[in-house]
Structure 1
């Protein structure tokens, strides 16, 4: 572009300041939304790509084929001994493993919860973690510990941590370790959550070794290095024979029940939860569609405004400019306009990012070295695409016709139809956004208040009650102390608690008269007054009572011949016609169990997770891995203080973790609520862009129809008639937009809701309500222009040029 073209653009923008502000402002908003949501998508899809050679690193995952079982499907955990077993088959295999992180650091007689993870001695080398101090061989010594920089600063703020002693409590209780190395803090986009690494301890007990080599014992994350696609294929081909060789512990035909899959470590983060993958995809689409709406708005306003420069184009053609030169000029102006809007969008993104971070619980920032070049490319590509049609329309004007006319051309019927089609497209996407926002908000509100199968108010869960440093005597003392707290009405313990803490086990339940091992059913060991404490409803029969000796399975679990209680979802799985039909039936084959009661389904975790068939086993002695739960009344704060005092007296330095039901369930709501909030922000701004474009288009059209309005009023039309005419013409594309919006929103929201086990109905009210809101917005947007045009005096309008 030469200086005359730039001067022409400057004059065009300053002469029509309103259109310029609408054009650039709407596009800037769309670009800002695209930048912010693009940063979110980039962050979520960049997990573990910082690890050197991550393309060749894979996670081994267990894939169970157990139809109807709560354990059916892929688990990212494996036996921790799996790596050693694989190396026995293939000595050249390179791999490592790590266990889930938990535990505490003991200092001055007090415990501080810390993410302590036992890891393979080669863990640091496998992932090439950068050391800040110490030796890469630190994990090869059984009593060495490796700290992150942040952990080293917390526990050794005034000196060199290498060689210092730190007391850690993990599976073995309080144990002294020597700090052998400090690794650089890991970035936020990583699957690893440890702050301290300790070596995995090799047991010499034949019983423990056999348990660790059981392919059904899922305790660790296992990683292998596979250099080529052929290596991946070869690894997978060896797995069936490997499972047949080592799978005795999981039943007959183990290779039909279990297989192993490998997943690139960079894909693991998005694969951990369908909700997260949906969130990333949804918000990525929102960003792209908002940008598309902004570009559509730009094309619409630029096309409408092109007619105002018809005489300028005619004069250029008279002075020798050909059509290609005019097109290049207008496309160059479009690119420059998009570049100005991109700068505005970057400023808006920087200003709005703190609000988005606070709203979505994020910590995003703008990497200018990446964003600025991307915006330059966006300005060129988007400007060329958005400016092509307006440039083609303008360059087609005939100089003689334009200069002989008393007014600028408006594009004719064809131009009006194109603008109407763009409004249809733009509002179709906006209405779909509004429907999606309403559905997401309704679903997130529903899952927060849905019936979980128990009384959620007044429950306090002690997640650290199964700490290995807490012996049975201390647990018994604690349970007695909890019962003495005045506000506590009931205390229980079980291997499952609201929020998902505890153990996750299941058994095949052999059914009478049905060949085979029977369906796999989740097993929950419970203590005294479990159902009463949680307030779980009895559907049929009764729950456990000390009056019935066979209710207690403490001594007879291995032999069977005790009573169980099942949940409602287990009734059809076990082949019974109704809950009443299940009462008194004996299941379990060689280990008979009599069903004495059926209780309602209980949702302990996310609304996305299916409630599987479950049976409860009562034990008068505290079950292994039990979590304590208290039922209390009134304010939870004095209850927590009393629990903390009892814990410090009986558990000493061990850290205490306790949360109410709402606090524990909050983690299951966060992702979906963040998605709904960010989606609502994007949808709101998309609708705002649509309003801006529609207002500008209404202003342009009414300005061009002043003389027509004057003629109509001279022939007897009232102001009300004029308003109805103008508003009605703009309502037509908005109403037609529903033909795009409704099917698009229905498909998208049906797919999103399918990820929830407990979900709302996709009611027509969402669609009708969003359409009515869109119509109201459109009416209010064009009403002002229509009212002003309707009040124009006919005499002035007929003289208007």
Structure 2
């Protein structure tokens, strides 16, 4: 490009500063939104791809094919002893199990218990997951059952700059034992679901029926194959394996009840079990689409403003043609200028992205960075494409103007009626997408408010959940003293234990209830083991019958063998699943599972898990005092911080060797919503920028159109038009395409909102108010955007307007 061309480009920008700023700024905002959301999608789709040979590692999933139980579907876990049985039937198979992980145990360090991310794995773990080792031999690092391998950060935390190899750590899993450090691996990256900083050997379990019970889930099992074809061939042999090994628990044709499925580890992050997995995939796809549509809106806006601005240069083109410029030269000039303008916008968009990433990461709990090796070539291609598309129409239009006609005209041509219609169509397209974004944003906000305010079946305020008891094999004496100490904490009104708690904590177990007159083993109900005062703490609504009473020996399952008779309380969903028309009909009925179970009460569903999941049919079995596998929950009034600190002091006085882990029930519930909150914030960024870009374009077009109609306005005012008439004329000129945009926006938003809401079991209704409010907001934004130009034009005196050039 010659220096003269660069001078012309500079003059074109500086001569119409406002139009240039709107054109470049709108495209820059669109590129920034596209980059931020694109980085999020790239991050979410890159999980485990950092692992060498990740394409040969497969997760073994358990597919529970029963249609009458809470666990219907696919779970990313298997029974504990599956790998042992697989290796017995398929010699040479390479695999590992992972138990624990995030907050999986504690370390006794400097006389205090410190919670850490400890995972228990098999000796072949480093063959399946070849982590980068800083110290130690990966072939032998986990050979010793008492070995521990640390991350680089954990090694520095416990040993400083000293050599950790050969040192010992006191680690508490179920019991406290000394482990010898045999290796140090590099810290795991952020794009991984493998949450551990320490690796120890998984304990050998012999004679434990639950470890080898088919259909149960206890560990994550991974297998490494030589190739994808070998994995596919192995998957074909699994049904026969299940029929052989699962016969004792599941009967003949066990593979019809339970299946084992292989999932490539790189797909695990976006394919977790249940509705939450589908929701994550939908969220990632939606945000990627929002990024593309925001970029598309920005590109449309850029083309629209570029075509409008080009008309201002008609006389310049005419003069250059008179001085000898030909059409090909002019087209090259306009296309080059358009590409350079797009390049400036791209550079500004990249700068905005870098500046915004720290805030996006902080708001979303992310660690996004720009991979320039990938981004820069993609942006270069994008710049050229947008520049050519935006510059082609003005280049063809302007280079074809007859010089004499342009120089003789009282005003510069603007593309005629076809140009105006083209710009109006582009405005309709922009605001259709922007209005659809507004509708979806309103639905998203309303749904998340509904989720937070919905009745969960229990009083969510004033709950403190202490999960530390799961991190040590405690004797009954200290546990009983701890419960008494918690009850003595000022403000605490009740304390209980259970193997389940708000936030989805605890165990997931089920039993089949044989229903008289129905074939088969009957529906499966989730089993919840509760201690004293469980219902006093959670306060569910009693629908029929009575609750457990410690004074009644028949209500206490302690000491009664599984096949013995026990009283139970069920929830509303379980009563319906068992076939009762009303809760009252269930009272006194006895069902057979491991033993006879007599229903003494029916309570409202307690929704401890994600709002996306349906309420499970559940039954509660009581243990006087402390329940097995206990999670402690305190009901309190007063200041949370004071109650938390008093509970911590009580814990440390009785169990100093175990870390105190506690959070409020509200905190646990917020964690269930955090993924949707993060997606909502990112969606709001894209939607907000889409609206802003549309407004910038509309404002620029309003300025351009008003400037071109100054003489028309003067004539109208001379003929008697009032300022109100002029404002109505100019505002209506741009409100009309915004109104037409709703014909496109409403169906798009309806499909999108329905698809997203389908991921929630408890969801709001799609009221027409969302659509009406969004359309009204879009119209209001459009009116406020153009009314300033309209008011200025309406106040101009007719004499000035008729002399205006």
Aligned to 1:128: 130
Task: Report deviation, 1:589.
Answer: 6.1
Describe the SS at the equivalent of 1:451.
coil
Aligned to 1:70: 70
Describe the SS at the equivalent of 1:465.
helix
Structure 1 residues 800, 691: closer, same or farther in 2, change over 3 A?
Answer: same
Describe the SS at the equivalent of 2:441.
helix
Kept in 1, the 8 Å contact 2:572–2:605? The answer is yes
Aligned to 2:267: 267
Describe the SS at the equivalent of 2:449.
helix
Kept in 2, the 8 Å contact 1:169–1:469? The answer is no
Structure 1 residues 291, 220: closer, same or farther in 2, change over 3 A?
Answer: same
Kept in 1, the 8 Å contact 2:28–2:348? The answer is yes
Kept in 1, the 8 Å contact 2:94–2:124? The answer is no
Describe the SS at the equivalent of 1:269.
coil
Q: Does 1:140 align with 2:155?
A: no
Describe the SS at the equivalent of 2:236.
helix
Structure 1 residues 537, 591: closer, same or farther in 2, change over 3 A?
Answer: same
Structure 1 residues 627, 248: closer, same or farther in 2, change over 3 A?
Answer: farther
Structure 1 residues 733, 635: closer, same or farther in 2, change over 3 A?
Answer: same
Task: Report deviation, 1:788.
Answer: 0.9
Aligned to 1:161: 164
Structure 1 residues 389, 56: closer, same or farther in 2, change over 3 A?
Answer: farther
Equivalent-residue separation in structure 2 for 1:586 and 1:627 (angstroms) = 29
Equivalent-residue separation in structure 2 for 1:478 and 1:800 (angstroms) = 88
Equivalent-residue separation in structure 1 for 2:648 and 2:11 (angstroms) = 73
Equivalent-residue separation in structure 2 for 1:87 and 1:326 (angstroms) = 74
Task: Report deviation, 1:678.
Answer: 1.8
Equivalent-residue separation in structure 2 for 1:554 and 1:512 (angstroms) = 28
Residues 301-328 of structure 1 show CA distances to partners (whole Å, capped at 9, x for unaligned) of 1111121122333344455555444333
Equivalent-residue separation in structure 2 for 1:202 and 1:160 (angstroms) = 30
Kept in 2, the 8 Å contact 1:95–1:223? The answer is yes
Aligned to 2:399: 395
Among 775, 778, 781, the residue aligned to 1:774: 778
Structure 1 residues 589, 378: closer, same or farther in 2, change over 3 A?
Answer: closer
Q: Does 1:288 align with 2:315?
A: no
Equivalent-residue separation in structure 2 for 1:610 and 1:588 (angstroms) = 25
Residues 649-691 of structure 1 show CA distances to partners (whole Å, capped at 9, x for unaligned) of 2223111111111122221121111111121122112111111
Which segment is superposed worse, 173-182 or 590-599?
590-599
Trace 1:679-698 onto structure 2 (pairs within 5 A). Answer: 679-698=683-702
Aligned to 1:118: 120
Trace 1:130-529 onto structure 2 (pairs within 5 A). Answer: 130-136=132-138, 137-171=140-174, 173-203=175-205, 205=206, 207-208=207-208, 210-248=209-247, 250-252=249-251, 253-272=253-272, 273-318=277-322, 321-529=325-533
Describe the SS at the equivalent of 1:99.
strand
Which segment is superposed worse, 575-584 or 506-515?
575-584
Equivalent-residue separation in structure 2 for 1:670 and 1:590 (angstroms) = 39
Residues 483-541 of structure 1 show CA distances to partners (whole Å, capped at 9, x for unaligned) of 22232111111111111221110011111111210011111011112111111110112
Among 713, 718, 732, the residue aligned to 1:714: 718
Kept in 1, the 8 Å contact 2:496–2:626? The answer is no
Aligned to 2:559: 555
Kept in 1, the 8 Å contact 2:512–2:593? The answer is no
Equivalent-residue separation in structure 1 for 2:757 and 2:357 (angstroms) = 28
Equivalent-residue separation in structure 2 for 1:573 and 1:615 (angstroms) = 12
Equivalent-residue separation in structure 2 for 1:377 and 1:535 (angstroms) = 61
Kept in 2, the 8 Å contact 1:495–1:503? The answer is yes
Describe the SS at the equivalent of 1:202.
coil
Structure 1 residues 400, 249: closer, same or farther in 2, change over 3 A?
Answer: farther
Describe the SS at the equivalent of 2:501.
coil
Structure 1 residues 557, 573: closer, same or farther in 2, change over 3 A?
Answer: farther
Task: Report deviation, 1:357.
Answer: 1.9
Aligned to 2:39: 39
Aligned to 1:99: 99
Task: Report deviation, 1:369.
Answer: 3.4
Equivalent-residue separation in structure 2 for 1:359 and 1:533 (angstroms) = 34
Equivalent-residue separation in structure 1 for 2:132 and 2:395 (angstroms) = 55
Aligned to 1:587: 591
Describe the SS at the equivalent of 2:471.
coil
Equivalent-residue separation in structure 2 for 1:668 and 1:710 (angstroms) = 62
Equivalent-residue separation in structure 1 for 2:241 and 2:779 (angstroms) = 64
Q: Does 1:574 align with 2:578?
A: yes
Structure 1 residues 397, 69: closer, same or farther in 2, change over 3 A?
Answer: farther
Q: Does 1:599 align with 2:586?
A: no
Kept in 2, the 8 Å contact 1:145–1:179? The answer is yes
Task: Report deviation, 1:405.
Answer: 2.4
Equivalent-residue separation in structure 2 for 1:619 and 1:712 (angstroms) = 88
CA RMSD of aligned residues (A): 1.8
Residues 63-110 of structure 1 show CA distances to partners (whole Å, capped at 9, x for unaligned) of 111213211111111123322222222223222222122000012331
Residues 607-666 of structure 1 show CA distances to partners (whole Å, capped at 9, x for unaligned) of 112111111111225332121111111112232222222222222311111111112222
Kept in 2, the 8 Å contact 1:95–1:224? The answer is yes
Equivalent-residue separation in structure 2 for 1:577 and 1:392 (angstroms) = 75
Equivalent-residue separation in structure 2 for 1:519 and 1:240 (angstroms) = 24
Structure 1 residues 715, 44: closer, same or farther in 2, change over 3 A?
Answer: same
Residues 161-202 of structure 1 show CA distances to partners (whole Å, capped at 9, x for unaligned) of 00101110113x110011000001111111111111011222
Task: Report deviation, 1:337.
Answer: 0.7
Q: Does 1:615 align with 2:633?
A: no
Which segment is superposed worse, 692-701 or 40-49?
40-49
Kept in 2, the 8 Å contact 1:313–1:394? The answer is yes
TM-score norm. by structure 2 comes to: 0.96
The gaps in structure 1 that reach 5 residues or longer are none
Equivalent-residue separation in structure 1 for 2:591 and 2:404 (angstroms) = 95
Task: Report deviation, 1:396.
Answer: 3.7
